[in-house]
Chains A and B, each alone.
Chain A
Amino acid sequence: MQLHVESLSHRYGDLLVLEDINLTVQEGEVVAIIGPSGCGKSTLLGMLGGLLKPSAGVVKIGGRVPESCLNPLTYVFQDFALLPWRTVEENVAFALEHHAVARKNMAERVADVLCRTGLEQFARTYPKQLSGGMRQRVGIARALAVNPAVLLMDEPLSALDAQTRDLLMEDFADVWLRQSITTVYVTHNLDEAVRLADRLVVLTRRPGRIRRILPIDIAKEGRTDPANAVALRQIYDEVWQLIRDEAKDADQELAYAQ
């Protein structure tokens, strides 16, 4: 499935946060959206999945939705958004319970996805007993359980400490690159973007506009290969140059209420 973004703008009251975004995400592609804080990255993601109504412009989906897919546009949230009164397996089941198709083999589906995300042992634990990294695994498991056509990831690793983040990123890259699910990955972390994306979309600071779109031509499986380190570093530096000054200015801006 493809995602077409056509002249999308958004304002909160008088405040313009996103202006004239045009972008097409191809089937199987991983697009990372990167930019300074407050540039409207999360707003953009909210509109991509229909959780937020754009002030202007449209988002369209193209192509056929695979039959096995229960929820074409599926989110993974920065704060995990787990139901604290449900165990890990019940949290995953939450995404399936209202689908008659899934109810027939619910236990198998849940067990399968918990296995793929390394959570088998934690099926009966409550979120508060888990570390941040494990909680986000549950968030990812829940998203994978519905066989999404497009994954919309809103800074999925931002709430984690640096070590957990690296560990989860590698694990997760394994699970999800293998399936080549179309993904929009919002982050302010350049390392994640350079590790995971086929294309980088760099936004300007508020109001967010597309500053540059950079393809990364190195295969994702080879990104951890030292032979590619220099080339990846170059991309990293190039993007950092682009957003550095913006980030500095954004940092000095007064916060606004959303």
Chain B
Amino acid sequence: MRSETPHARQAADQAGANLVPFRGRGFEIRRNAFAGVAAIVVVLAAWQLGTTIGIINQTFLPSPLNVFDALADLTLSGELLRHLQASLVRIFSGWLLGTMAGLVVGFSMGLFSLARNVGMPLVSCFYPIPKIALLPLFILWLGIGETSKIGTIALGVFFPTVISAFGGVDGAPRNLIKMAQSFNVPFLSIVFKVVLPSSLPSILSGLRISFSTALLLVVAAEMIGADRGIGAFVLTAGNLMQTDQLLAGVITISLLGLATGTLVSALERLLLRWR
């Protein structure tokens, strides 16, 4: 068959045919990497300008350059490192403990009826408690030293890990499990080759949450009872009105958060390539 003839087109023009208006505008986000950088530069510049011309009182909010100076001094003197090291040890041990326990409990709840029926009500009860509220109790039980801080962090990390691991295991596609069963694949192999990989996306996004929970709790715990650690450092700086040092500490904490976030993103790229 031939395509449309010129006659048909002429006829349409004579009949006064109108253009179909384009209605598909909007609801599309375009990427612009420059905008983000520009926004940060503008905020920093405005802040610097405000302190230089004196609108902002430097006692309460030092200029970005002063904060940067403080950060450089603290880094060079090794003081920041000393505090950072103390915090990192607590974060890492607490996080490791909480994550390991959380994965075991979360997987059990996902796989076994008994564990689920027992675990669900318990998790629902304890999850909403702000874990930092339990620190005084932990101090009574475990003393003011490292154990009570690590325990609080572990507990704070434990619950989100249980929930993400459980959710991931529970959401593992039934059809894939049935398939594995139809080939007589043994139980443990199904857990490691089917359930674990399908729950990995959920576990990794849980990791993001548990990292930030650990960071939050370490700072809070160090503010309550520690002479070393980033939280203690920030609190002391505040008490002495050293706002430039205080903000340097805050920046260190956010860099730590950024680093863990980047780590999880890298893990996701590495482990979830198949998606």
Contact = CB atoms under 8 A, between A and B. Distances in A.
Nearest to B179: A81
A51 interface: yes
A61 to B, nearest CB: 14
B197 interface: yes
Interface stretch (A70-78, A181-189, A196-204, A224-232): A70-78
Nearest to A97: B189
Contacts, number: 46
Interface in B136-193: 175-176, 178-186, 189, 193
Contact of A85 (B175, B179, B180, B274): B274
Contacts of B186: 98
Contact of B275 (A77, A84, A98, A146): A84
Interface string A79-105: 101011110000000110110000000
Interface residues of A, number: 21
Nearest to A87: B274
Interface residues of B, number: 17
Given A83-B197, A84-B274, A74 B183 contact: yes
Contact of A98 (B176, B179, B185): B185
B70 to A, nearest CB: 47
Contacts of B216: none
A79 B181 CA distance: 16
Contact of B175 (A71, A81, A95): A81
A94 B193 contact: yes
Interface string B12-24: 0000000000000
Contacts of A81: 175-176, 178-179
A49 interface: yes
A51 B185 contact: no
A23 to B, nearest CB: 20
Max count, chain B CB within 10 A of own CB: residue among A79, A81, A84, A126: A81
A124 interface: no
B178 A51 contact: yes
A79 B184 contact: no
Contact of A77 (B175, B185, B189): B175
B74 interface: no
Contact of A146 (B175, B179, B183, B197): B183
Given A83-B194, A94-B185, A75 B275 contact: no
A212 interface: no
Contacts of B185: 94, 97-98
A74 B181 CA distance: 10
A128 interface: yes
B184 to A, nearest CB: 6
B95 to A, nearest CB: 26
Nearest to A139: B179
Contacts of B189: 97-98
A79 B175 contact: yes
B184 A71 contact: yes
Given A95-B183, A128-B274, 19 more contacts: A49-B182, A51-B178, A74-B183, A75-B179, A75-B182, A81-B175, A81-B178, A83-B194, A83-B197, A84-B275, A85-B197, A86-B274, A94-B185, A94-B193, A97-B185, A98-B185, A98-B186, A128-B275, A142-B183
7 cross-chain pairs, A with B, having the tightest CB-CB distances, nearest first: A81-B179, A85-B274, A95-B183, A75-B182, A85-B197, A81-B175, A84-B274
